[in-house]
Amino acid sequence: MRYWNLPPAALILCLPVPQILLWMLILFDHVTPSGIARFLPGHSVTRAKELGWDTLANGDLLAEAERAGFDVLLTADKSMRYQQNLGGRRIALGVLSTPQWPVVRLHSEKIAAAVNAATPGSYIEVDLAGE
């Protein structure tokens, strides 16, 4: 693009705006590998076990996490999507296709992108197979 005929002040408006990543409070359930936390700099990650929530059923875990102000619940429990209604919720649900660390660690950018794209009440499935 050419902006030669614009005053310098107008050029500032034409520059690309960097994407601003907002800090999020993220909860890992009992099957989410803790090593994923390294892929999420700038966010605060807590494991359900640290809060004594590792024995809660899916619905109770989601409700407690939302009540505590978590923005995202990250799990590898694929059944949670079908068991829980996310409509009207403030917490997002992220589901990994596998919790197996040898696979998960190869997809750090994909996982981080999915978490960073989470919005209140959204469902994000992160397929980690065959790439």
Mean pLDDT of 67-81: 91
119/97 Cα distance (integer angstroms): 20
Residue % of the chain over a pLDDT of 90: 66
Domain boundaries, the chain: 19-126
* Global pTM value: 0.80
User: Do the beta carbons of residue 117 and residue 40 sit within 8 Å?
Assistant: no
For residue 89, what pLDDT is reported?
86
Mean pLDDT of 75-95: 83
**Phi, psi angles (nearest 5°) of residue 58:** -50, -50
User: Do the beta carbons of residue 94 and residue 126 sit within 8 Å?
Assistant: yes
For the stretch 8-67, pLDDT in tens is 555 455 445 444 457 899 999 999 999 999 999 999 999 999 999 999 998 899 999 999
46/75 Cα distance (integer angstroms): 12
